[in-house]
Amino acid sequence: MVFRRGILAVYFSWVSYVIFVLSKDSEMVTYTSLLNLYFLPIEVAQIISQIYKFGLWEFFGITFTGFPLLIIWLIEAFIIVYGPIKIIKDYAIPPFSILHKKWYSKYILSKDFESIFSENKIIEGLNNNPVAYVNTLEHGRANNHTRISVFLLKEETVQYLRFENVKKDRDGKNATITEIVSLFPIKSNEAKELIKKFYAKKIFILDY
């Protein structure tokens, strides 16, 4: 879905560019006819093929045509398509309540927990008693630890836990975050107890 939208964005960016170029010649076409190009992909392809053959702009006195121009177009398309995909991939979407039409709020527990690499081990501990299991976890290192988040929506009876491994570089500026457990369901009283006990900080939705 995201890839198709990226391709569509490339198409519309090219049509917009063609409209910009052709609009400079007001005697050649009307503004209304130019807007129709968005719905005429064959005509757009023909115009682009002419640009590919003869070029349209130059750099340092060199007019780019043919294969060099194609490389530039491919780089441009890659940026347009890959950018949104990477943003969505890196963005951890919070749970959403269909019943109440609300996003869950995210709280990060104010403790750097010991690094845990086994998903099965975490789930086993959470299945027994989520609060008790989290309480057994020791402190981790500042540059290598597990981060635990609670997703809470007061109107719902089911809340969620997320476990992530955080590894920082020597300067502590860049961090690699690996999700271990995505959304483990817990009870509301358990979520509130963890938030209170570990002085969890509520996170702004764009920082999820």
Predicted pLDDT of residue 60:
72
Q: Which residues pair with 175 in a beta bridge?
A: 168
Q: Are 129 and 148 in contact (CB under 8 A)?
A: no
What's residue 130's pLDDT? 96
pLDDT on residue 94: 78
What's the pLDDT score for residue 137?
96
Is pLDDT above 60 for 139? yes
Confidence bin at 8 (pLDDT 50/70/90): confident
Comparison of pLDDT for 79 and 150, the residue scoring more: 150
pLDDT tens-place string over residues 67-111: 888 888 888 888 877 766 665 555 566 788 988 999 999 999 999
Amino acid sitting at position 185 = P
| Rounded distance between C-alpha atoms, residue 124 and residue 130, angstroms | 9
Q: What is the DSSP string of 5-36?
A: HHHHHHHHHHHHHHHHHHTT-TTT--HHHHHG
Q: What is the pLDDT of residues 160-206, one digit of tens each?
A: 999 999 998 877 778 888 899 989 999 999 999 999 999 999 987 65
Average pLDDT, the chain: 83
Q: What is the pLDDT of residue 29?
A: 54
